[in-house]
Amino acid sequence: MARLFGTDGARGIANADLNCELAMNIGRAAALVLAGANPSHKPRILIGYDTRISSKMLEAALSAGICSVGADVIQVGVVPTPAVAYLVKAYNVDAGVMISASHNPCEYNGIKLFSGTGYKLSDELENQIEAIVRKGVGGESLPTGGGIGHITAKEDAIDDYVNHVIASVPDNMRFDSMKVALDCANGSSSVTAEKIFTALGATVHVMHDAPDGVNINRECGSTYMDSLIAYVKENEMDLGLAFDGDADRCLAVDAEGTLVDGDQLIAINALDMKERGVLAKDTAVVTVMTNMGFWKFAQQNGITVRKTAVGDRYVLEDMIDGGYLIGGEQSGHIIFKDFATTGDGQLTGVQLLAVMRRKGKTLKRLAEVMKIYPQTLKNIMVTPQAKDAFADDPVVQEKIKEVERRLGDTGRVLVRLSGTEPKIRVMLEGEDQTIIDTYADEILETIKERLL
């Protein structure tokens, strides 16, 4: 049986995989687990959501489940995911729930759970919640009368989060005269981005900030950069920032319309932090998918690189364990641990502008600290049996080693099983796009011949 909670919460097609009954049961189970061994404790759980048409429906179901076991709900409405992570700690509540499927299309939705410290729940707690959901909660002794939980709305919560992001900019720094285009992906940043960047003095042009419930991430945001690139060039902006549906990711575009991805944003900020003497242990944490150009940048600048599995939760775990302050993914999910307990796209954006202002350089100049190596990523659908056989097949493994030998120190090969889909993912990097495409196809063909 598939695990209910993946690397980023429970997720599926709303009203199908993720229906109201499941949401209600997750709410009940989460409240029961959070009450723990102290049945007299009345948990308070904060709920926020993104702009999907299904989000309020799931909020109602979650709230009903939470209240039915005697816990209270604080509803904060449309907010970014990092706002929930910040607010649970700021308001001293027991947990937070974000209803969002991040960068996915509107038909998907998800339930992300945060502890009272602002971090995503541990696997252990998620497993406890899942066990209760699987077993069912109908047999629990449910309260009646005054024992039922109540729901309150906190409409000014968004302002507390906005002020928190603004306060992350040091020494009363201002962004006056900087022209910034903001792509809000018709998502959560539609209610926050303009407030944040305008308050800091930037001249802001906002796009894709009119959510209608079904247009979130539709040909906009950090997964579709074309419209922002065109807008930045046509309107002579200094830079553009694109967020995803729940605003925990950020990608950038320089004044010439060139994409600056998450790897480059980490490099820019890590180098600035090192130069200011605030990069803990001179270390940045990235994933196995990070471009090899980042490693070369780090080597040239005396920065140690920590490598984790794909997924922001693994990046964060390593940051916590080692006391590191910056980490993230190529997708733009970047964690500034001094200010946040999860990726925060708008926080990333203001930190980028702060580096530009502090150094007096354009984004194009800043991005030159790291060379991007050509990369190809190809997937192949496989059976469960093929996934199981992949690691032990001598011909497939020898083919991978052969390609590694051919590339030498001019490239790298990463072939891995998908953790969420029945796929094997083949990623190559090198100096020549044509060569790495050819090598990737050779590996795929070997996998087909041997495993399919």
Distances (CA, A) of 302 to 281, 296, 325: 11, 10, 16
- Give, in order, the Cα–Cα distances in Å from 367 to each of 184, 267, 362, 408: 23, 8, 9, 26
Tell me the C-alpha distance between 183 and 205, whole Å: 9
**Cα(367)–Cα(268) distance, rounded to whole angstroms?**
7
Nearest to 81 by CA among 60, 53, 57, 51: 51
Q: CB-hemisphere CA count at 13 Å for 159? A: 3
Contact 199, 162 (CB under 8 A): yes
What residues does 203 pair with on adjacent strands?
Answer: 179
Which helix H or strand E contains 205, and what residues bound it?
strand 203-207
Q: Which residues contact 146 (CB under 8 A, 6 or more apart)?
A: none
Q: Residue 63 catalytic?
A: no
Find, among 117, 109, 123, the residue nearest to 213 by Cα. Answer: 109
Say which DSSP state 283 is in.
Answer: E
The residue from 54, 63, 68, 102 that is catalytic is 102
The answer to whether the beta carbons of residues 184 and 190 sit under 8 Å apart is yes
- Give the distance, in angstroms, between the CA of residue 84 and the centroid of all CA atoms in the same chain: 13
Which residues are identified as catalytic? 102
